[in-house]
Amino acid sequence: MSFHILDDCIECGTCLPECPEGAITEGSPYRIDPRLCTECGACAEVCPVDVCQPLPEE
């Protein structure tokens, strides 16, 4: 399970330097590459609008 970014992302860029794997890319909204995400939660810790969330298990 990896993290993903919800559509409510405000594209502030706070999460980009926090990801140790470089899994986050800019866009509208930003995206997290699930192949690179290690589930560390660094993005979620710094997100001012709480849109970095773990993917729900299917």
State pLDDT tens for residues 1-58: 799 999 999 999 999 999 999 999 999 889 999 999 999 999 999 999 999 999 987 5
26, 33, 21: which is closest to 11 by C-alpha? 26
| Cα dihedral value 20, 2, 35, 40, nearest 10 | 20
Q: What b/e string do you get for 29-44 counting C-beta neighbours within 10 Å, with b at 16 or more?
A: ebebeeeebeeeebbb
SS3 32: strand
Which domains are assigned to the chain? 1-58 (3.30.70.20)
